[in-house]
Amino acid sequence: MHNDIKEILISEEEIKAKCKELGKQLSEEYEGKFPLAIGVLKGAMPFMSDVLRYTEVHLEMDFMDVSSYDGGTRSSGEVKIVKDLDAKVEGRDLLIIEDIIDSGLTLSYLVDLFKYRKANSIKIVTLLDKPSGRTAAIKADLAGFEVPNEFVVGYGLDYQEKYRNLPYIGVLKPEIYGGEEESE
Ligand code: PRP
Ligand code: MN
Ligand code: MG
């Protein structure tokens, strides 16, 4: 285990099994369709890669890079588009792929944007859901694991751009982020 990690919440094996399960559900959901799978960079990168390899439908992959945490543990409350999609959204069935829903601000911004761009349907799959952090009315259609109100890193999730490469989801030792309080 990495030295900055207090505890492993979700192991590599548990993540893999969940990706298989979610991939299968997505295959059923989108059977006969050609969805546009949208990975929300950067955090969703490992999960998107793993969950989509267990789907059996034709799909298109695209990426949107948005950021609201500026590397810290608190949401700035403002969502910044760093990179927009290449694909056109109008009339498409969208599958937004996220690593975590915390306040819900990132997703509520994206859902509004894609509605405005006239998507045919919008669904959300997230690996992690932290319902205790929610301030915006957003719910995932599919969620892998519920996590407690602690700052988690690994498997795409960062603190100051670090720890995204860990193969598991872990809780950071409080001394690493200087005892800064969790976002509420
Ligand atoms: C994180 C995470 C989600 C979002 C969830 O992204 O990857 O996209 O915050 O938080 P919310 O529900 O409170 O909006 P971040 O802004 O840190 O960018 P990153 O993915 O590049 O790390
Ligand atoms: Mn993100
Ligand atoms: Mg981040």
**Position 144 in a domain:** yes
| Structural domain includes residue 35 | yes
Residues lower than pLDDT 50 in the chain:
182-184
Domain-embedded: residue 112 = yes
Q: Tell me, what CATH number does 118's domain have? A: 3.40.50.2020
- Asked, for residue 118, whether it belongs to a domain, the answer is yes
CB atoms within 10 A of CB 173: 13
Neighbours of ion ligand 3 (CB under 5 A): 69, 158
CB neighbours of 48 closer than 8 A, spacing ≥ 6? Answer: 37, 39, 61, 97
- The answer to whether residues 35 and 59 touch, using CB atoms and an 8 Å cutoff, is yes
pLDDT tens digit sequence for 132-160? 999 999 999 999 999 999 999 999 999 99
Which of 100, 107, 125, 183 to probe ligand 1 with, by most ligand atoms within 8 A of CB? 100
Identify the domain containing residue 108 by its residue range. Answer: 5-177
Residue for token pair 């949401």: 75
Does residue 76 belong to any structural domain of this protein? yes
Distance from the CA of 67 to the center of ligand 3, in angstroms?
7
Of 113, 133, 131, 130, whose CA–CA distance to 122 is shortest? Answer: 113
CA of 162 to the centre of ligand 3 (A): 9
